[in-house]
Amino acid sequence: MKREYILTEEEKLEKRKKIDQNKLIRTLESLQLLPKDLTPADLADRELLSDAELQDVKFILDAYAASEAVKLPERQGQRAVSFDDLINFAELSVVRVIELCKQLPEFLRLSPPDRVALMKGGALELILLRGVISFDPERARFLDSGDVESAEQDSMEGGDFLKAAGSSGYAFLQLARSLRVNLQCDRATLILLLVVCLFSADRPGLTPEGRDSAEEAQVRYSLVLDRLLRTRLPGQEARKIYPQLLTQLAELRNLEKDFSDLAALTDPRVVRPLMAELLDMQEGHDGKKGGQF
């Protein structure tokens, strides 16, 4: 006689829950969202992503991977001699952020002016966060995961970056170390953090409706980020790291101001049109920012 025949409904339900949990655990492990071979005690100290939350994470990761496939025509190797070079190098990063945004339902539901306000208001912060994701400390270079075959034209050496960015470049590397080492951020965590940063409701130019929609989206993805940390890390550690991670967004804004000051001193005549438009640059002898996006 099959064992199922003598199980009560409660026992059948409990068995189904265990099967579903084991399936979820295997999926999380395959996506590297959960360490493999955790003991039952280790698993009990984690709050695993729900199926719906897991789908949200997979959607964001897939959208980010798809954005990395976007290329720029006639892109040449990047030797950063000045900050102008850094801005032009960042054009590919901006194009990929735009491609990511175009895949997010919450972004597409915004009015066109509100979309522009989010992009322009957070442009440098998003570029810097993408830099944290793409920086390879072992080879000391910036390179997206999908650009390995085109590394010669799509990478920037860390030494060139520091020469062009100066003290702000060193501050960036400190931020990257804090996120990736001290706070143990993996790729999935950083990508979700980037989406949380995107939907900052205090960007200049947002309409009241845009602010409400951005805040709602930010809260939603912040909760998913929190649960991802509770999946990857033991409970007490995750609860400690989550507020520290959000604090890094404030540090990111301080760093953004430094890079914004450097951008204000660049010559808009040598900056690519998209970057000049995004950073409100206009041609002039003083190189100050101006104009509208």
Of 116, 106, 110, nearest in space to 204 by CA: 116
Reduce the DSSP state of residue 156 to 3 states and report it: strand
d(CA 281, CA 269): 9
Q: Tell me which range, 27-41, 141-155, 255-269, is most confidently predicted by mean pLDDT.
A: 27-41
pLDDT tens per residue across span 59-95:
999 999 999 988 877 655 555 567 888 888 888 899 9
Which pLDDT does position 53 carry in this prediction?
A: 95
With a pLDDT cut of 90, the percent of the chain lying above it is: 56
Which pLDDT does position 56 carry in this prediction?
A: 96
Q: Six-digit token pair at 265?
A: 């001193």
Which pLDDT does position 261 carry in this prediction?
A: 87
Burial of 286 (0-12, 13-18, 19+ CB in 10 A): exposed
Which CA distances in Å does 33 have to 120, 134, 145, 231, 232?
Answer: 32, 19, 18, 7, 6
Mean pLDDT over 263-277 rounds to 84
pLDDT tens per residue across span 162-210:
877 888 889 998 999 999 999 999 999 999 999 999 999 999 999 999 9
Mean pLDDT over 23-52 rounds to 92
Spatial strand order of the sheet with 135-136 comes to 135-136, 141-142, 156-157
Measured between its terminal Cα atoms, the distance across the chain in Å is 73
d(CA 54, CA 27): 9
Domains by residue range for the chain, with CATH: 55-70+79-279 (1.10.565.10)
Count other C-beta atoms under 10 Å from residue 283's C-beta.
12
Of residues 221 and 7, the one with the higher pLDDT is: 221
Mean pLDDT over 94-122 rounds to 95
With a pLDDT cut of 70, the percent of the chain lying above it is: 86
Q: Which of 6-15, 20-29, 162-171 has the lowest mean pLDDT?
A: 6-15
Which pLDDT does position 263 carry in this prediction?
A: 84
Mean pLDDT over 2-21 rounds to 72
Which pLDDT does position 290 carry in this prediction?
A: 38
Which pLDDT does position 285 carry in this prediction?
A: 37
Which pLDDT does position 92 carry in this prediction?
A: 87
pLDDT tier for residue 135 given thresholds of 50, 70 and 90: confident
Q: Six-digit token pair at 272?
A: 């690519």
Q: Is the pLDDT of residue 107 over 90?
A: yes
Q: Tell me which range, 83-92, 146-155, 234-243, is most confidently predicted by mean pLDDT.
A: 234-243
Q: Is the pLDDT of residue 291 over 60?
A: no
- Would you give the distance in Å from CA 201 to the centre of its chain? 17
d(CA 249, CA 243): 10
